Amino acid sequence: MAEKRPLDLLVISDVHLGTYGCHAEELNSYLKTVKPAILVLNGDILDMWQFRKYYFPKSHLKVLKRIISMMSQGTQVYYLTGNHDENLRRFTNFETGNFHLVDKLLLRLDGKTAWFFHGDVFDVTMKHSKWLAKLGGFGYDLLTMINRFVNFISTSLGYSKISLSKRIKDGVKSAVRFVDDFEKTATDLAIDNRYDYVVCGHIHRPAIKTVESSKGKVTYLNSGDWIENLTALEYHEGEWSMYRYDEAAFSHGPEEEPDSAEAELVMNGIPAISFGDMVLEELTAGQMIRRVADAQPFTANGKYHV
């Protein structure tokens, strides 16, 4: 097995596990190549809006398996809630072992302050028209399914892949204005609070750029998504970089065994999840997600912990 790249910090967001548009296999292939000291899951990792009890394939479960394996090997994992996994917010500040569930996060990186949050707090549809946002989420999921079929035909004919949703968003002035407003609001708040970095997700628009105003400057970063962009933010030895998945860089050989027995997750269910001396009750993947969606607590060692 090839040696993994060490990272001080890895940020991924908007994976949308449980939807047809999620590129779980590609994400799992990438996660196998890195060894982060800290992993920030910046919202919308699980998609509870579009969750269907009959659709949670093995490739999606393998991503959860990989993250748990990282935790068992010492990676600190911070799960920041987003709008598609907003039901987790009722469990905010839950911690166990190397796992931390929060809504926002401040980290000191080489003497500088980084502010992490998903970003849906700036989305007006989330505050006043949630039904419209959920309808848009359903439409986006449908569009990604159509996009996959189109790209299958396109690549079969020797043409490159295209992103229908990106073309639509780039061509609609209101969508472009929303992105601009989102970035300005985030950077203005970060500058007011004298943060050095502001790290978001939500808008599926990967970016690293420095923004200046009369009050100061800040580095704005967005980790993108694993629906159409397949991107992640990497921080190592004082430098930020944007990772972009390259299919040609990965071989498609047999899947290797998990890195740790502590991260044992069988593909037809989850017999146990252990973090140190804590063992969560037996649950299948679907039961685990539905338990969270229904706000029913897990049990750990026979006691309720949320």
For residue range 35-87, what is the model confidence (pLDDT) as tens digits?
Answer: 999 999 999 999 887 666 667 899 999 999 999 999 999 999 999 999 888 88
Quick one: CA dihedral 266, 269, 272, 275, positive or negative?
positive
**CA torsion angle 47 48 49 53 (round to 10):** 100
Percentage of the chain beyond pLDDT 70 is 62
Spatial strand order of the sheet with 95-96 comes to 95-96, 99-102, 76-80, 34-42, 5-12, 231-236, 239-244
Are 194 and 216 contacting, i.e. CB atoms less than 8 angstroms apart? yes
Between strands 273-275 and 216-222, the pairing is unpaired
For residue 158, is pLDDT > 90? no
pTM for the model? 0.73
3-state secondary structure 151-178: HHHHHHCCCCCCCHHHHHHHHCHHHHHH
Are 229 and 244 contacting, i.e. CB atoms less than 8 angstroms apart? yes
The residue type found at 16 is: H
**Tokens matching residue 219:** 């580095």
Phi-psi region of 33 (alpha: psi -120 to 50; beta: other; left: phi over 0): alpha
For residue 268, is pLDDT > 90? no
**Tokens matching residue 49:** 């809006």
pLDDT interval class at 144 (50, 70, 90): low
Select from 3.30.70.20, 1.20.1050.10, 3.60.21.10, 3.40.50.11540 the CATH code of 5-267.
3.60.21.10
For 288-299, b/e burial (b = at least 16 CB within 10 A) is: bbeebeeeeebe
Q: Which residues on neighbouring strands pair with residue 283, listed in sequence order?
A: 270
The residue type found at 230 is: L
pLDDT interval class at 299 (50, 70, 90): very low
